[in-house]
Structure 1
Amino acid sequence: MKWSEIGILTSNEAIEPISNILHEAGASGVVIEDPLELIKEREDQFGEIYQLNPDDYPEEGVIIKAYLPINSFLGETVEAIKSAINNLVLFDIDIGKNKVSLAEVHEEEWATAWKKYYYPVKISEKFTIVPTWEEYTPGNEDELIIELDPGMAFGTGTHPTTVLCIQALERTVKQGDQIIDVGTGSGVLSIAAAKLGAARVQALDLDEVAVNVARLNTELNKVHHVVDVRQNNLLDGIDGPVDLVVANILAEVILRFVDDASRIIKKNGYFISSGIIQQKKEIVMEALINAGFMIEEVITMEDWVSIIAKK
């Protein structure tokens, strides 16, 4: 089968929303070519970083690549993607140069092309994300490993918004907690919560592909007895009480279910939200306060924000 590789030259700020647009358009895999990866400092044990080729990265901005099957609807799909990206300016999101390119690739090329960008990364005090195809030896007995194969789901576990969420989970999860992960993607946050001692995690995602990938990853990490992965739209029809809700989604989406989160979270429980750009921080914080939460901590990384709010 032949695939069309769509590449969008954009800004770092637009990575999350454009990736989401591509995913919703049916993209089977997303690659992010960010030149910042070339200058990030990493421990020597992750030797794979030296294999990165500067020629694969843009001189400025970020290139987001996705793969779409070549069929009679491809033209309409690409135009819909372009329109959705252009509409991001209505939300004050910088879309950079917004140059779109198309190229044809064969399935075997697509299936392995993105893997060269994905390697073991220590993302927090406790956790290291390890691709399933890489061998890795923990540095000490306290290190927690999350093995991950994103497959066709959005989320490799190493994006700043995911890292912020996992760091927030380390601060808040207690043994025996009941937790909900809204928009689970590849399931990485649910897996982290289970490894931190949660008794039960509901991993919810509207996308059937993400649900299937998350189930495979929970089994791979041997936490499938704790994590219940299912298809669901945000918190629609979900009852509490729970100790914690975590959501790594766009700010505009978080605003849609803040009241539902407040309804099901126990008193003194937590709502961890991420996927928030700096310009949207105040809007989300105001919504959280109006819904009965107290802002306990705001964590930042690059241009991204994660908020830990207490009921």
Structure 2
Amino acid sequence: MRAVVQKGYGSPAAVLRIAEVDRPRDPVDDEVVIRVHAASVNFGDWAFVTGVPGMIRLAAGMRTPRAAVRGRDVAGTVEHVGPRVSRFRPGDEIFGEIVTGSYAEYATTPESTISLKPRTLTFAQAAALPIAAGTALQGIRDSGGVTPGQSVLVNGASGGVGTYAVQVAKMLGAEVTGVCSSRNLDQLRTLGADHVIDYAVDDFTRGPGRYDVILDLAGSHRLRALRRVLTPRGTLVLSTGQGGRWVGPLQAMAAAGLMSPFVSQRLRVLAAKTTPERLDDVAALADAGKLTPVIERSYTLDEVPEALRHFGEDHARGKLVISIH
């Protein structure tokens, strides 16, 4: 089969190539072999290709990555199932977050990492959901605990997670403010944002607004500044899910963890995790028309290096999708 193979760490154009590799072996136990129709690009894919920050290599392999094929978001068709698989059978249309290897024509993963694809979406649209929509649902609904009438701000609202976070917050009845660049303001309004802030013009941490919940995906402000615009018993959810500046966001996360037990505000660090239950929720919301994928561009398998370059350098709007079959 054809797959995108990584030979080391560095720029996507330098370390990724298309190669013919062996198709997955027959599945064992709870494994499922998937015929991949589409995948998408996430921050983790870019980080594992570039090896930045260096701590990524502790998980991926110090000098060369232990897994040669990148990609985690997937949408496709079940090809074969292992003897202990109970939820799926060949021919089922699925989507999910596999362990690794969706930038290929076939992939193997445990059944616990996938769910039935939303019926109303194409494979390309479904591939744009798992990590980003699941993270948004976790950040806004589960960690943020958003309730109707609350004021919610999403910093980094035009990216993959942010576009879903705006939709989830509106779905839960919140008054939503999205922070992004000027070129994305109209898009956020279309997604339902009540207020939009161009970060190049206004610094929301110095404005008059006060928010019950802040989901910070951009890591562009210090913890003290974020807390200043949080209500006295508000909730701050921190994530480093976007862009390559790490030291500041990680310091804020560490400080939030230490400070949280001693202040009235709830300071949460988002450790995003995709579960079958959350995938089922995402699929149901998509089928109900409450979550709409925002896809900036679709690439072919041969164009994966360019897709990752664009993600890392150009601040992609919404999701970048890889169409394979």
TM-score by length of 2: 0.42
Higher RCO (C-alpha 8 Å, min separation 6): 2
TM-score by length of 1: 0.44
